C-alpha cells in the first residue's frame, strides 16, 4: 500500500476496491451525509435555541419560575421517547426520502410557532410535539448509515453526522449572540423570538433538498444519480460483509423473538441509557446557567462562552471516529473510557469549593469529551447487529429511547435550574454515571467477544463436519473404484 493510500485510509476509511465503488462512495457521501448532516444541524439548532433563548430574555418575558425551564426539556424528551421506535419502524414502510423531510417540515412549522408564544404552557405543548417529530432524525440516520456503509467506513461517517448536530449547538450560541445584538426589538419582537424565526427559515429548504436528493436504502433506491451498476454494487458490497442481511421493509413477530432472545437489545440499550447521561453538561447548557448565576457576564458572553464545550466535543468526536476506523479494529470501547475519565476529572474540578475561574472554564470545556461516545456507541451497535437488518433498526431506536427515558427526569432531579451555579448533586451524579459507563462498556465488550467466539466455533465445527463428510465420500468412491478395477 502506498503512502497516499495509507493516509487516505486513515482519514476517510478503506480504499475502494474498484473505480465503480469509489464513484459510488463519493455519491452517497455527497448526498446521504450532506442531507443527514444538514437535517441534524437544524435539529440541534432548534434544541439549543431553547437553552439560549432562556438565558437571553425568554425567562423574564414569559415570567418563568423555578424548574419550568427543566420542564420544557422534560416534555420535549417525553415526545422524543413517544416518537422514537414508531419513527424508526416507519422507515421500514415509508421511503426515508419522504419520511425524513416530512418530519422536518413539521418541526420547522412548530419552530415558527415558538416565536409567537405568550406563556410557558404554550412552549410545553409545542416542545412535546417537536420531540415526536425530531425523534426521527438521530437513530433514523444511524439506521441509514448502517444500511449503506461497511464497518470500516461507518465510524468516520457516524462521527461526522454527530458533529453536525454539535455544530448546530455551536452555531446556535453564536447566532443567538448576533440576533440579540442586531435584531432585539426589531418589529417589536425580542431577540429570542427572532432566533426561532431564523431557525424555521433555515429548516424548510433543507427539507426540500431531502425530498429531491435523498437515496433511501440500497434495496429500494431509485436515485437518479446512481447507475444500475452502482445500485447493484451498493447491495452486494454489504451482503458480502459478515453475511449482512440488507433486506428492507420486512416486519414480523419473529423480530420480537430475536430481540428478546438476544443480549444485543438489552446490552446496547443499557449502554446508551447510561453513557448518554454524560452529555448532561452540554444538553442542559449548565455552563450558560453557571455564567448567568455567577453574574458579571453580558448576554452575548453567556451565549458565546459555552460554545467552547461544543467545539471541544466536535474535535473529540472526529478524532475518536477517525481512530476507530483507521485502526481497523472492532474495539470501540477505548473511546467510552476516554470520555468517562474526562467527565470524572471535570466534575472533580468543578466540585472544588474555590478553584480558579480559569480552571473551571477548562473543566467545562473538557466535559465536551462526553459527546465523543455518542457516534462511537451507535457505530458499535450497527456493527454488533450488522447481520440482522430489522433488529438493528429497533436496537438503535431503543438505545436512544431508553436514554431519553432516563433523561426525562434526570435533569429535574440532578440539574434543576435552581441549583445554579454549583450543581453539586449533578456533579456527583456525573461521577457515578461515568463509573457506571465504564462497567457497562466492559459488559458489552465481553458479550460481543463471547458471541464472536461462539460463531467462530460453530463455523469451525461445521467445516469439520463437511470435511469429514467429504473424506468419507472419497473413501467410499476409492473402494468402489478398487472393486471395479478388480
SS3 353: coil
What are the two backbone dihedrals, phi and then psi, of residue 235, each rounded to the nearest 5 degrees? -80, -45
Summarize pLDDT for 465-485 with one digit per residue, the tens: 666 666 666 666 665 565 555
pLDDT-wise least confident of 238-247, 252-261, 407-416? 238-247
Instruction: State the Cα–Cα distance between residues 278 and 272, nearest whole angstrom.
Output: 10
Position 434 confidence tier, pLDDT thresholds 50, 70, 90: very high
pLDDT at 121: 93
pLDDT at 9: 63
Instruction: State the Cα–Cα distance between residues 375 and 454, nearest whole angstrom.
Output: 27
Higher-confidence residue of 241 and 166: namely 166
Residue 139 CA from chain centroid, whole number: 6
The answer to the question of residue 5 being in a domain is no
Q: Is the CA virtual torsion 388, 389, 390, 394 positive or negative?
A: positive
Assigned C-alpha cell, 410: 434526570
CATH code, domain carrying 269:
1.20.1250.20
Instruction: State the Cα–Cα distance between residues 175 and 168, nearest whole angstrom.
Output: 10
Position 359 confidence tier, pLDDT thresholds 50, 70, 90: very high
Confidence check: pLDDT of 240 > 70: no
SS3 460: helix
- Residue 228: count other Cβ atoms within 10 Å of its Cβ: 7
Residue range 324-350: mean pLDDT, rounded: 85
pLDDT-wise least confident of 144-158, 376-390, 468-482? 468-482
Mean pLDDT, all residues of the chain: 83
Closest CA to 273 of 41, 83, 439, 36: 439
pLDDT at 243: 47
- Residue 340: count other Cβ atoms within 10 Å of its Cβ: 25
pLDDT at 268: 92
- The structural domain count of the chain equals 1
Assigned C-alpha cell, 375: 457516534
pLDDT-wise least confident of 274-288, 430-444, 454-468? 454-468
- Using a cut of 0.85, tell me whether the model's pTM lies above it: no
What DSSP element (H or E) covers 417?
Answer: none
Residue range 134-140: mean pLDDT, rounded: 85
The answer to the question of residue 1 being in a domain is no
pLDDT-wise least confident of 22-31, 116-125, 387-396? 387-396
pLDDT at 23: 92
pLDDT at 365: 94
Position 360 confidence tier, pLDDT thresholds 50, 70, 90: very high
- Residue 4: count other Cβ atoms within 10 Å of its Cβ: 9
Q: Which domain holds residue 433?
A: 10-485
The answer to the question of residue 3 being in a domain is no
The answer to the question of residue 4 being in a domain is no
Q: Which residues contact 463 (CB under 8 A, 6 or more apart)?
A: none
Summarize pLDDT for 46-79 with one digit per residue, the tens: 777 887 788 778 888 999 888 888 888 888 888 9
Summarize pLDDT for 3-30 with one digit per residue, the tens: 666 666 666 666 677 888 889 999 998 8
pLDDT at 189: 87
Position 129 confidence tier, pLDDT thresholds 50, 70, 90: very high
Confidence check: pLDDT of 231 > 50: yes
Confidence check: pLDDT of 207 > 90: yes
pLDDT at 35: 92
Assigned C-alpha cell, 104: 422536518
Q: Which residues contact 340 (CB under 8 A, 6 or more apart)?
A: 275, 278, 434, 435, 437, 438, 441
Cβ proximity of 226 and 27 under 8 Å: yes
Share of the chain above pLDDT 90, in %: 26
Cβ proximity of 313 and 370 under 8 Å: yes
Confidence check: pLDDT of 245 > 70: no
pLDDT-wise least confident of 111-120, 163-172, 405-414, 441-450? 163-172
Position 132 confidence tier, pLDDT thresholds 50, 70, 90: very high
Summarize pLDDT for 271-304 with one digit per residue, the tens: 999 998 998 887 777 898 899 888 888 877 887 8
pLDDT-wise least confident of 61-65, 261-265, 408-412? 408-412
The answer to the question of residue 367 being in a domain is yes
Confidence check: pLDDT of 204 > 60: yes
Higher-confidence residue of 263 and 382: namely 263
Residue range 245-258: mean pLDDT, rounded: 61
Q: Which residues contact 69 (CB under 8 A, 6 or more apart)?
A: 54, 59, 417
Position 109 confidence tier, pLDDT thresholds 50, 70, 90: very high
The answer to the question of residue 387 being in a domain is yes
Confidence check: pLDDT of 184 > 60: yes
Summarize pLDDT for 167-179 with one digit per residue, the tens: 877 777 777 778 8
Instruction: State the Cα–Cα distance between residues 63 and 370, nearest whole angstrom.
Output: 33
Confidence check: pLDDT of 343 > 80: yes
Q: Residue 12, exposed/middle/buried by CB under 10 A (0-12, 13-18, 19+)?
A: middle
Assigned C-alpha cell, 80: 422524543
Q: Which residues contact 150 (CB under 8 A, 6 or more apart)?
A: 14, 237, 238, 241
Assigned C-alpha cell, 193: 423570538
Confidence check: pLDDT of 329 > 60: no
pLDDT at 187: 86
pLDDT at 484: 58
Q: Is the CA virtual torsion 220, 224, 227, 233 positive or negative?
A: negative
- Residue 457: count other Cβ atoms within 10 Å of its Cβ: 10
What DSSP element (H or E) covers 480?
Answer: helix 424-485
Residue range 155-164: mean pLDDT, rounded: 84
Amino acid at each position: 500500500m502506498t503512502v497516499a493510500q495509507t493516509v487516505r485510509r486513515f482519514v476517510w476509511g478503506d480504499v475502494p476496491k474498484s473505480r465503480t465503488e469509489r464513484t459510488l462512495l463519493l455519491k452517497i457521501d455527497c448526498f446521504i451525509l450532506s442531507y443527514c448532516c444538514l437535517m441534524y444541524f437544524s435539529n440541534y439548532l432548534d434544541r439549543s435555541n431553547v437553552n439560549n433563548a432562556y438565558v437571553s430574555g425568554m425567562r423574564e418575558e414569559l415570567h418563568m419560575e423555578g424548574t419550568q425551564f427543566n420542564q420544557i426539556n422534560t416534555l420535549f424528551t417525553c415526545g422524543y421517547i413517544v416518537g422514537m421506535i414508531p419513527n424508526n419502524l416507519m422507515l421500514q414502510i415509508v421511503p426515508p426520502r419522504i419520511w425524513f423531510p416530512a418530519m422536518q417540515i413539521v418541526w420547522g412549522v412548530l419552530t415558527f410557532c415558538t416565536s409567537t408564544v405568550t406563556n410557558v404552557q404554550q412552549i410545553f405543548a409545542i416542545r412535546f410535539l417537536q420531540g415526536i417529530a425530531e425523534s426521527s432524525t438521530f437513530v433514523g440516520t444511524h439506521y441509514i448509515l448502517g444500511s449503506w456503509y461497511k464497518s470500516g467506513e461507518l465510524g468516520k461517517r457516524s462521527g461526522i453526522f454527530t458533529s453536525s448536530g454539535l455544530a448546530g449547538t455551536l452555531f446556535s450560541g453564536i447566532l443567538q449572540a448576533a440576533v440579540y445584538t442586531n435584531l432585539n426589538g426589531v418589529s417589536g419582537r425580542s431577540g429570542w423570538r427572532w432566533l426561532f424565526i431564523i431557525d424555521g427559515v433555515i429548516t424548510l429548504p433543507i427539507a426540500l433538498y431531502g425530498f429531491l436528493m435523498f437515496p433511501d436504502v440500497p434495496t429500494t433506491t431509485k436515485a437518479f444519480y446512481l447507475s444500475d451498476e452502482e445500485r447493484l454494487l451498493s447491495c452486494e458490497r454489504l451482503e458480502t460483509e459478515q453475511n449482512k442481511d440488507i433486506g428492507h421493509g420486512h416486519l414480523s413477530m419473529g423480530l420480537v423473538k430475536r430481540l428478546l432472545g438476544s443480549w444485543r437489545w438489552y446490552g446496547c440499550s443499557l449502554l446508551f441509557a447510561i453513557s448518554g447521561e454524560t452529555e448532561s453538561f452540554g444538553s442542559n447548557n449548565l455552563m450558560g446557567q453557571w455564567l448567568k448565576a455567577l453574574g458579571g457576564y453580558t448576554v452575548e458572553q453567556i451565549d458565546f462562552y459555552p460554545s467552547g464545550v461544543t467545539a471541544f466535543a466536535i474535535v473529540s468526536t472526529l478524532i475518536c471516529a477517525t481512530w476507530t476506523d483507521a485502526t481497523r479494529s472492532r474495539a470501540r470501547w477505548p473511546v467510552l473510557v476516554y470520555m468517562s475519565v474526562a467527565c470524572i476529572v471535570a466534575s472533580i474540578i468543578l466540585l472544588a469549593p474555590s478553584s480558579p475561574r480559569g480552571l473551571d472554564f477548562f473543566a467545562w470545556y473538557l466535559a465536551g469529551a462526553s459527546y465523543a461516545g455518542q457516534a462511537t456507541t451507535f457505530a458499535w451497535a450497527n456493527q454488533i447487529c450488522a447481520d440482522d437488518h430489522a433488529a438493528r433498526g429497533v436496537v438503535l431506536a431503543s438505545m436512544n429511547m431508553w436514554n431519553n427515558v432516563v433523561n426525562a427526569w434526570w435533569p429535574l432531579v440532578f440539574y434543576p435550574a435552581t441549583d445554579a451555579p454549583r450543581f453539586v448533586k449533578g456533579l456527583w451524579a456525573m461521577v457515578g454515571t461515568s463509573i457506571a459507563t465504564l462497567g457497562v462498556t466492559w459488559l458489552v465488550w465481553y458479550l460481543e467477544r463471547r458471541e464472536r467466539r461462539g460463531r467462530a466455533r460453530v463455523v469451525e465445527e461445521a467445516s469439520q463436519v463437511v470435511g469429514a463428510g467429504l473424506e468419507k465420500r472419497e473413501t467410499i468412491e476409492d473402494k468402489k473404484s478398487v472393486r471395479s478395477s478388480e
